[in-house]
Structure 1
Amino acid sequence: MKINLLIIVVLFFVQKAVADGYDLVVAKDGSGQFGTVQQAVDAVPSFRKHVTTIFVKCGVYKEKIIIPEQKKNIRIVGEDKNHTIITYDDYAQRKNRFNEEIGTSGSASFYCSGEGFIAENITFENSAGPVGQAVAMWVSADKATFINCRFLGFQDTLYTYGKEARQFYLNCYIEGTVDYIFGSSTAWFERCQLHCKRSGYITAASTPEASAFGYVFNNCTVTGDDSTGPFYLGRPWRPFAKVLFMNSELPAFIVAEGWHNWGKEENEHTALFAEYNNTGPGALSQNRVKWSKKLSDEEAKSVSISAVFGGWEPAGYKDRKADFR
């Protein structure tokens, strides 16, 4: 009788989740169809044209997740962004079975290559600690969207890997130390909190020369704590790095120079680091490096989500255009 009752309860919650618009349910307590996130991802048919929504109940899921290129249009929704946590503890210097270092890309907790990926209310974490490069999220997918998510780590927390990929981050929390947002993708960060730990560089873009935009931070807030030391807004991982902070709040620990050339004077002639209409004690000052740029009002008008993404309207934006500039 007890077993039958348990089955009824489990079926009730699974059916409720499906009724709420979720196709698959993940739960550590056995109340879902799957006990791990990777099992649910693996159950999604390859090259499915429709969105497959996976609901993940609260819990700490210690998994190294891979969403391959053929798994398109996957949407993962967490029950609570603070308590639905996908985590792993790899780091770049860790050795594989062949006694080789796994490297920065090998250190990621979550890999996303499937186009049209959406994540909501999830924490992505690398729990290795301050041990060098240790990626929480590695994303090469085009048209990837993250809403109300948290990215936790130290060095190299968020790796926007895809060279021609477009990514949108809305109301997200991203923390780290050195180069904690880095990579080649074109990414728009809207109303995100960038939390600086220790001292370092917020961004290390490697924007391809042919890309018109790299990172755009709009209406974001940079934060720290009593232990936070000097931070730069960014430095160019590759020569044609492009980063723009606009309408954002910058604290006093942002160094007066604002930007760093990574020790290569030639980067000053190719990188495009810009600011517009920022506020706070760390906002644009007369001491900014001469090779950075302050946008005019006219130039700022040309920077829009539509322009940056070439017409793609990400989830969380297209239904609320009036809320965006």
Structure 2
Amino acid sequence: MKKYITLLCCFFLFCYPFPKAWSITIQDTITVSLDGSSDFISIQEAITACGAFPSNPKTIFIKEGIYKEKILIDSFNSNISLIGANKDKTIISFDNYNGQPNIGTFTSFTVKVLADNISIQNLTIQNTAGPVGQAVALHVEGDYFKASHCKIVGNQDTLYASGENSRQYFTDCYIEGTTDYIFGSATAIFDNCILYSKANSYITAANTTTNSKYGFVFLNCKLLSAPNIRKVYLGRPWREYANVIFSNCFMDSHIQPEGWHNWGKPASEKTAYFAEFKNYGPGALTDKRVKWSHFLSSEQNSKLTFDVIFKVENQWMLNTTTP
């Protein structure tokens, strides 16, 4: 009897079609497409197949298409790059929002990044829930995160850039939303990005910790808005020590003359650090800015480099132009 069981097991072992993720050897470069012509049809499957703490960096090329997935890049899925074929046509989309059963702000994400050394490029990440409250598109907590040539699209709470020890770099990205659409506690540089406001509200809601010298730093960005939007604040303090800087940015007329809001917490005016340097455009006039905001000197602005802001400890930014 044992002989027949052994033969039967051998038959299934050699003849049964295993899932593709089991049957291929994961190379350092793999591809994803919806039509089945690549290694995987799911981005999440490709990430999972990269394994835990891969010794070699993994690159996942994603072909054009709308991938309706809720993606988690867990803390052990480090050293992965997601590269789309076209930022307008390679789209990761989901529609969770705060208030759905078992869904809150921090679980409403379309893509959540907990791992270190993750980069994304030429992708659209969107939350399509609509104007229904908090609905995160991209949630990042990992260290050494990079996003380039990406579109991050949503409404309230579009981008959650979080983590006291998380350093995040966004370059040539388009970020849109309504209320507090860039929020969190990370140290993050936004270089040459477009911030597109779709409602009269607030762009940032920083939650910077007392141990972080920098929070959100916007360099050479453009602040634009939908038609008929006329009352947008640069930011308000989610917590007392919120830290936000806008340097050399274009600000259109939708930016409020006051610039900043205290969120109804006068005590935060003493601890929050909201600053500007040589911004330009109709919304950049400083004569009516709130008295508790700051204006950088040329010397202070010259220190807004990767080495200073990020306290760079390795070579992760070597291939990136320093602002």
> Structure 1 residues 220, 143: closer, same or farther in 2, change over 3 A?
same
How many residue pairs match? The answer is 298
- Residue 80 of structure 1: SS of its match in structure 2? coil
The residue number in structure 2 matching 1:37 is: 43
- Residue 281 of structure 1: SS of its match in structure 2? coil
Q: Does residue 1:287 correspond to 2:285, yes or no?
A: no
CA contact (8 A) 2:276 2:294 kept: yes
Alignment of 1:306-317 (within 5 A): 306-311=307-312
Alignment of 1:180-259 (within 5 A): 180-259=181-260
The residue number in structure 1 matching 2:79 is: 73
The residue number in structure 2 matching 1:136 is: 137
Q: What TM-score does the superposition give when structure 2 sets the normalisation length?
A: 0.89
The residue number in structure 1 matching 2:119 is: 118
Taking the aligned partners of 1:139 and 1:249, their CA distance within structure 2 comes to 26
Taking the aligned partners of 2:318 and 2:247, their CA distance within structure 1 comes to 21
Residue 28 of structure 1: which of 12, 34, 46 is its match?
34
After TM superposition, the structure 1 stretch with the greater mean CA deviation from structure 2, 236-245 or 226-235, is 226-235
Taking the aligned partners of 1:260 and 1:214, their CA distance within structure 2 comes to 17
CA contact (8 A) 2:32 2:41 kept: yes
* Residue type of the alignment partner of 1:69: S
1:131 Cα offset (Å): 0.3
The residue number in structure 1 matching 2:98 is: 92
> Structure 1 residues 290, 309: closer, same or farther in 2, change over 3 A?
same
* Residue type of the alignment partner of 2:45: Q
Taking the aligned partners of 2:303 and 2:73, their CA distance within structure 1 comes to 34
Q: What TM-score does the superposition give when structure 1 sets the normalisation length?
A: 0.89
CA contact (8 A) 2:259 2:289 kept: yes
The residue number in structure 1 matching 2:64 is: 58
1:240 Cα offset (Å): 0.3
| Structure 1 unaligned blocks of 5 or more | 1-13, 97-101
1:74 Cα offset (Å): 0.6
* Residue type of the alignment partner of 1:85: I
The residue number in structure 1 matching 2:5 is: none
Task: Provide the alpha-carbon RMSD of the alignment.
Answer: 1.5
Identity of aligned residues (%): 43
CA contact (8 A) 1:139 1:159 kept: yes
Taking the aligned partners of 1:299 and 1:266, their CA distance within structure 2 comes to 25
> Structure 1 residues 271, 214: closer, same or farther in 2, change over 3 A?
same
> Structure 1 residues 279, 313: closer, same or farther in 2, change over 3 A?
farther
> Structure 1 residues 185, 158: closer, same or farther in 2, change over 3 A?
same
Displaced runs of 4+ in structure 1, greater than 4 A? 312-315
Taking the aligned partners of 1:242 and 1:144, their CA distance within structure 2 comes to 19
| Structure 2 unaligned blocks of 5 or more | 1-23
- Residue 125 of structure 1: SS of its match in structure 2? strand
